[in-house]
């Protein structure tokens, strides 16, 4: 084996070993449907290549404000920051490829996540598609998209133990059909968006995050949102 290949394999092995040091417990509140899935994006080279190919950062974001990083071999999507050197949040690959999300999020998206008290990956991909479609619809009509107007057309549901939060159209008031009737193959395809010091203003008001970075035990569930 060539020396450069040996070095590459050694580096990848080191990454996995270091990831094992971050083994976390105390997530019994999360459903096993969630905690049984681990990310396929556990190699740095894979994550960097993807981020470059799909331009996941907004053009206005300067270099060195946000970075993408691999997941360790034992990371679950519901894990918090414990043991990690910087604030971060997970993102599913499909949110970029299917819904064309860009980081950092716009004010409307931040407002929806904050109001529902959910991390980005805690909101089901189908609900992300509806959120993105509403934003485009508002732009077409030259309206400022409002989180509360958007949520008026849906009811939010989850389960105990905690799974993904889904937005279900109100009876007789559906704006959009579901993006996918059965969303598959997203649960183990995620990586980390790491917030670097020069990029904290995109995600924090002083020391308070603008939306939950990590999964919460108590997402907002409602049957109807006031008109």
Asked, for residue 58, whether it belongs to a domain, the answer is: yes
User: Is residue 215 a part of any domain in this protein?
Assistant: no
168 belongs to a structural domain = yes
Q: Which two tokens stand for residue 220?
A: 């907002």
Supply the mean pLDDT for the chain.
87
**225 lies in some domain:** no
Instruction: Flag whether 54 is in a domain.
Output: yes
Q: For position 24, what pLDDT does the model report?
A: 62
From 34, 74, 29, 63, select the one nearest 217 (Cα to Cα): 29
Over residues 57-64, the mean pLDDT reads 91
| pLDDT tens, position by position, 14-52 | 444 444 434 466 899 999 999 989 999 888 888 888 888
- Domain span at residue 21 reads 3-209
pLDDT digits (tens, 9 = 90+) for 171-181: 888 888 888 76
Instruction: Give how many domains the chain has, as a whole number.
Output: 1
Q: Which helix (H) or strand (E) holds 139?
A: helix 125-140
Q: Is residue 22 part of a domain?
A: yes
The predicted pLDDT at position 3 comes to 47
The CA distance from 123 to 35, in Å, is 16
Q: For residue 122, give the nearest of 183, 51, 212 by alpha carbon.
A: 212
Lowest mean pLDDT among 41-55, 104-118, 202-216: 41-55
Residue 142 Cα distances to 29, 55, 122, 139, 145, angstroms: 42, 26, 29, 5, 9
19: number of Cβ within 10 Å: 17
> Which residue would you say has higher pLDDT here, 187 or 184?
187
Identify whether 29 is part of a domain: yes
The answer to whether position 151 is within a domain reads yes
| pLDDT tens, residue by residue, 75-109 | 999 999 988 889 999 999 999 999 999 999 999 99
């Amino acid at each position: 084996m060539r020396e450069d290949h040996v070095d590459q394999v050694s580096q990848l092995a080191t990454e996995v070993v270091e990831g094992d040091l971050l083994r976390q417990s105390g997530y019994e509140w999360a459903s096993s449907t969630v905690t049984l899935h681990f990310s396929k994006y556990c190699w740095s080279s894979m994550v960097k290549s993807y981020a470059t190919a799909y331009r996941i950062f907004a053009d206005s974001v300067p270099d060195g404000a946000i970075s993408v990083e691999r997941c360790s071999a034992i990371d679950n999507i519901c894990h918090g920051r414990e043991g990690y050197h910087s604030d971060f949040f997970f993102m599913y690959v499909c949110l970029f490829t299917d819904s064309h999300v860009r980081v950092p999020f716009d004010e409307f998206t931040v407002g929806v996540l904050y109001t529902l008290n959910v991390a980005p990956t805690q909101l089901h991909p189908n609900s992300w598609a509806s959120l993105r479609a509403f934003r485009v619809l508002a732009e077409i009509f030259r309206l400022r998209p409002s989180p509360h107007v958007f949520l008026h057309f849906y009811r939010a549901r989850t389960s105990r133990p905690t799974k993904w939060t889904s937005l279900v159209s109100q009876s007789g008031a559906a704006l959009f059909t579901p993006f996918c009737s059965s969303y598959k193959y997203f649960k183990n395809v995620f990586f980390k968006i790491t917030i670097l010091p020069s990029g904290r203003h995109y995600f924090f008001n002083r020391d308070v995050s603008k939306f939950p970075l990590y999964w919460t035990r108590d997402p907002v569930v409602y049957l109807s949102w006031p008109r």
